[in-house]
Every structure is written in structure tokens, then in C-alpha cells.
Amino acid sequence: MCSLCGILGCDDHWTNAVVRPGVYTRNHDTLARRTETARRLKSANAVLSFRRLKLDVWQGRSYVVASPTGASSVFEALSHLWPEAEALAGREFDPLDDTFIEWMEGQALS
């Protein structure tokens, strides 16, 4: 826990359980951890941009998702990402929605 702001940095999302440097919460290799975080941001932002939202790291231990109008929301673990993003966008992210899938397909690697 960060003694300054009391934020619990315990991202225990199931995706953490993969053997890769930087993934585990108790990993003290700062560089590897930041690389892994950057990888997650990249994946999430590719999806969030459908509703023009952007995810970033907050204080190195939490996440902040922001809308183009500047509204933002801070949360601790990736498991909270989608409820927070939907609340901020005011609309849902439906991975089986045709429009959403078509948009994702339009962003495919060429």
C-alpha cells in the first residue's frame, strides 16, 4: 500500500498468473513491471478507443481511464476496467456486438 495516498496496489487479476518478468505483483524489477504494464495499456487502449477512452497508469500502481472531455476515473485492478470504462463512456462495451466487431476487424494488422 502506498503510504501517501492509501491506494492498495494489489492487482490480483487472473491475467497476472503468467510466467513472464514483470507480471507478478511482488516483482521488484521495476523495468520489467513497467514493460508489462505498457503491454497491457496497449491492448486495452486498442479496445477502449472504440469509445474514445484512454487508459493510463496512475501513480505507478493503479490505473486511470479518461474520456476525451477530460472526465476520468481511477481504479486499482484490471478487473474493474470494464465497469469503469462503461460508466465513463455512458455506453456499454459489448464484445459480441456486430458494430464493435466490425470496427475491431477494420483495425486488423495488414
Partner 1 sequence: MTPVILLTGFLGSGKTTLLQRLLRHPSMEGTAVLVNEFGEVGLDHHLLDQIDENVVLLKSGCICCTVRGEVADALANLHSMRTRGEISFERVVIETTGLADPYPVLQTLTAHPVLRSHFSNGGVLTTVDTVNADIQVTHRAEAVRQIAAADRIVLTKTDLAAPQEEEALRQRLLRVNPAANIITSMSSVETILADFGPLSFFTSSKSATQNHICGPGCGHDAPTKCDSLTDQHRHHDETFGVTSFSLEIEGGIDWTMFGTWLTLLLHKYGDRIFRVKGILAIEGEALPIAIHGVQHLIHAPTHMDHWPKGMDQSGSKSSHLIFILEDIEPEKIRRSFHAFMNVDTVKAAAR
- Asked if residue 94 binds partner 1 (CB under 8 A), the reply is yes
Q: Which is nearer to partner 1, 29 or 97 (CB)?
A: 97
- The CA distance from 96 to 86, in Å, is 15
x/- site string to partner 1, residues 60 to 89, per CB under 8 A? ------------------xx-xxx------
| Count of CA atoms in the C-beta half-sphere (13 A) of 45 | 15
* Residue 15 beta carbon to partner 1: minimum distance, rounded to whole angstroms: 3
The type of residue at 69 is T
57 φ, ψ to 5°? -90, 145
* Residue 83 beta carbon to partner 1: minimum distance, rounded to whole angstroms: 7
- The residues in 18-57 that bind partner 1, with binding defined as CB under 8 A, are 18-20, 39-40, 42-47, 49-50, 52
SS3 65: strand
At 60, list the grid cell: 505507478
